[in-house]
């Protein structure tokens, strides 16, 4: 399965002049961390979707793509996440195959987490998979949760990683599967400076855990 890495946001809520995908988390830009996670996973190719709102991000990704045959850059118009996602889907030409969509603000992702989402999509046997995190988990971690919905009587927050179907049959049958997870590596998406601090704390804790082993 190919991946669309969405990295065209301005990141105004984070403050400062650094474009959101380039915002460092523990000394490394978020977009680089997500690219590394996708490279470690079973994703076959990554298409980084950029926009006029993130020109420096585009430059960095174009540089990385020049050294990686599995990475390409898609120049979307910057009309919003959903519009740019549809543009990129059409541009990639997936020929009806599902695509993994990943936001560039998930700095805790790694290959195993990405593979777990791919496995959940396969197990659901549907072209589309919506990944959600319980709102209570977000609050427990102390990270932002801008949009909540209710599924099965539980308040949940859509995550920044999903599988989308691209075939005409999928468009007619939009009742895709839902995957609910408590995994902090999916729950922590960075929108505010406080989210950066939370992500860095969890990365440090994970590093300490592996050091103690």
Over residues 50-73, the pLDDT tens digits come to 999 999 999 999 999 998 999 999
20 band by pLDDT with thresholds 50, 70 and 90: very high
Q: How many separate domains does the chain show?
A: 1
* Residues 78 and 84: beta-carbon distance below 8 Å: yes
**Can you read off the two tokens belonging to residue 65?**
């793509």
**How open is the CA angle 93-8-195, to the nearest 5 degrees?**
125
What pLDDT, in 10s, does the model give residues 168-204? 554 445 567 999 999 999 999 999 999 999 999 999 9
> For position 13, which CATH number holds?
3.90.550.10
* Residues 11 and 88: beta-carbon distance below 8 Å: no
**Can you read off the two tokens belonging to residue 94?**
């997936």
Q: At what angle do helices 55-65 and 30-40 cross, to 10 degrees?
A: 30
Which pLDDT belongs to residue 113? 97
What pLDDT, in 10s, does the model give residues 79-115? 988 999 999 999 997 677 899 999 999 999 999 999 9
* Residues 9 and 20: beta-carbon distance below 8 Å: yes
37 band by pLDDT with thresholds 50, 70 and 90: very high
Find the domain containing 76 and state its range.
3-212
Taking the model in full, what pTM does it have?
0.89
Which pLDDT belongs to residue 211? 36
CA atoms within 13 A on the CB side of 97: 13
């Amino acid at each position: 399965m190919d991946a669309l890495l969405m990295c065209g946001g301005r990141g105004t809520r984070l403050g400062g002049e650094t474009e959101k995908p380039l915002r460092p988390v523990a000394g490394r830009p978020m977009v680089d961390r997500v690219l590394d996670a996708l490279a470690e996973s079973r994703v076959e190719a990554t298409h980084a979707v950029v926009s006029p709102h993130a020109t420096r991000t585009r430059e960095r990704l174009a540089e990385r793509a020049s050294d990686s045959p599995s990475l390409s850059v898609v120049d979307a118009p910057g009309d919003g996440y959903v519009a740019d996602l549809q543009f990129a889907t059409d541009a990639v030409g997936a020929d009806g195959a599902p695509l993994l969509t990943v936001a560039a603000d998930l700095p805790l992702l790694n290959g195993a987490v990405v593979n777990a989402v791919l496995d959940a999509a396969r197990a659901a046997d549907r072209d589309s998979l919506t990944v959600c995190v319980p709102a209570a988990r977000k609050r427990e971690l102390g990270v932002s949760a801008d949009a909540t919905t209710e599924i099965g009587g539980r308040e949940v927050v859509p995550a920044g990683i999903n599988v989308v179907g691209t075939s005409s049959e999928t468009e007619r049958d939009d009742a895709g599967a839902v995957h609910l997870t408590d995994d902090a590596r999916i729950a922590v998406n960075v929108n505010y400076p406080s989210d950066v601090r939370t992500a860095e704390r969890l990365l440090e804790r994970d590093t300490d855990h592996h050091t103690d082993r």
